[in-house]
Amino acid sequence: NGAYALAVFGDSITTDHISPAGSIKEASPAGQYLIEHGVQKADFNSYGSRRGNHEVMMRGTFANVRIKNLMLPAGADGSREEGGLTLFQPGNEKMFIYDAAMKYIAQGTPTVIFGGEEYGTGSSRDWAAKGTQLLGIKAVVARSFERIHRSNLVGMGVLPLQFKGEDSWQSLGLKGDELISIDLGGEIKPQADVKLIIERADGNKTEVTVKLRIDTPIEVSYYQHGGILPFVLRQLLAA
């Protein structure tokens, strides 16, 4: 209830867009974290080499230098600023996605991601789902999902929701400053229709039906436990 969009993306957002493996920029949240901990710029190495460090990988989530958050306004030539940036709401304050995510978490505000077709395409990079969860993102709403990334999101306790028919964030006129709520109904059922409730800045509300992309009964159990890891731990503790 009452979530803000952390980012709004177009089509074909890859797992490398979500969790890059490339070099770490000095000005990025991950670069600043390493500097604060005494690491020289020459020793930053890459996100791929630091994937055992969740502090670096959290800060690297959605930090690809080529990613375009379409919440940011277009320039005079129609181009969009690249890099892991967003507009913190309310107020449209521009900052790194990681910094905005931590501010939302600190104030208890959930967040969601909007995407287009083939969200999560590319390699089955587990950190793409892990990082999403660690940034406090509760749901990803897209036109379609790559198979493995959809499964990984559920495994991390993040809701994948799919637009139906011709619906999209564009057709709904979303800008990123709306309040988003999700009504799952009384009982979570695989591939059920659920309600996406959009409250706009002027107070108008729109309800749209989306498909819950929790596809199997065991995935329902994973989600209800907050992901595969807590599900398995609770089974072991009960044994």
* pLDDT the model gives residue 139: 98
DSSP state of 42: G
Q: How many residues are present in the chain?
A: 239
Residue 221 has pLDDT above 90, yes or no: yes
- The torsion angles phi and psi of 183, rounded to 5 degrees, stand at -105, 105
Tell me: the pLDDT tens digits for 73-103? 988 888 888 999 999 999 999 999 999 999 9
Tell me: the pLDDT tens digits for 164-185? 999 999 999 999 999 999 999 9
Buried/exposed 195-227: b ≥16 CB within 10 Å, e otherwise: ebbbeeeeeeeeeeebebbbbeeebbebbebeb
* pLDDT the model gives residue 114: 98
Q: Give the confidence band of 30 by pLDDT, cuts at 50, 70, 90.
A: very high
Percent of residues, the chain, with pLDDT higher than 70 = 100
212 Rama class: left (phi>0) / alpha (psi -120 to 50) / beta: beta
Stretch (H or E) spanning 211: strand 205-212
| Weakest-pLDDT range from 80-89, 94-103, 132-141, 150-159 | 80-89
Residue 148 has pLDDT above 90, yes or no: yes
Work out the average pLDDT over 126-154. 97
Facing residues of 96 across strands?
85
Tell me: the pLDDT tens digits for 34-76? 999 999 999 999 999 999 999 999 999 999 999 999 999 988 8
* pLDDT the model gives residue 74: 86
Task: Give the tokens for residue 22.
Answer: 């490339």
Work out the average pLDDT over 123-139. 96
* pLDDT the model gives residue 10: 96
Q: Give the confidence band of 231 by pLDDT, cuts at 50, 70, 90.
A: very high
Task: Tell me the pLDDT of the chain averaged across its residues.
Answer: 96
Work out the average pLDDT over 187-196. 96
* pLDDT the model gives residue 222: 96
pTM: 0.95
